Structure 1
Amino acid sequence: MHDLPHGDTVTIVRPGPSTEDEYGNDIPGPPEEITVPGCAIAPRGAAAVSAELTDARDTVITGLTLYAPYGTEIRATDRIRIDGQLYEVEGLPGSFRSPFTGSTGPVVAALELVTG
């Protein structure tokens, strides 16, 4: 898959390398931000959107599917910023390269946003 000329640009927010505090404990370093142009974003359907009432608040879970250009490195620990919202990556992203033609498909990642 090549970059989509009318695709969206997303930002991968990746935990930075850990550092040590004054007591020798590992603490997360500042996050790294990686801009990825040419992506497609699709809703995951009604099954990926749910709402429930907890502690007198509505919780809404929204699922998206991200299609990024082949070779994009997306980790399960990354978060993806889309339109100012930070989505969690669910599971491991996957990609496909045909053993017959060598053609490639996108890197596909399931994303989830929990609000409320």
Structure 2
Amino acid sequence: MTETVAPEPTPEQAALFARVRRMMLIAGLTTALAVAAVLIAVGYRLFRSGESAVLTDTTAMLPKGARILSTAVAGDRLVVTLDIAGVTEIRTFDARTLKPAGKLKFANEP
């Protein structure tokens, strides 16, 4: 069989090959860095989500005659809608610690 012999590259071609190799090396390193960053972010999120929630026993005192109309979870907040003597009130609590986060009252205009 006959072998095909590639001619020696010209100086311009050699410079072009070197430039392409350098660009491919940069692209490969950039890709490796991006993949490492994603893996680190995913590992961090998995590590942080593994923390156990703090168990709390809390009793929230409601005004006399108050009724709970509804409860909901919004993000990291627990939302409780109350009816207090005909006035609607929304109370929010931190879902992790159950500490009060805010209070919103609704009243009719006179």
- Greater fraction of residues in strand: 1
Give the structure-2-normalised TM-score. Answer: 0.27
User: Which protein, 1 or 2, shows the higher relative CO under an 8 Å CA cutoff with sep ≥ 6?
Assistant: 1
Give the structure-1-normalised TM-score. Answer: 0.26
- Greater fraction of residues in helix: 2
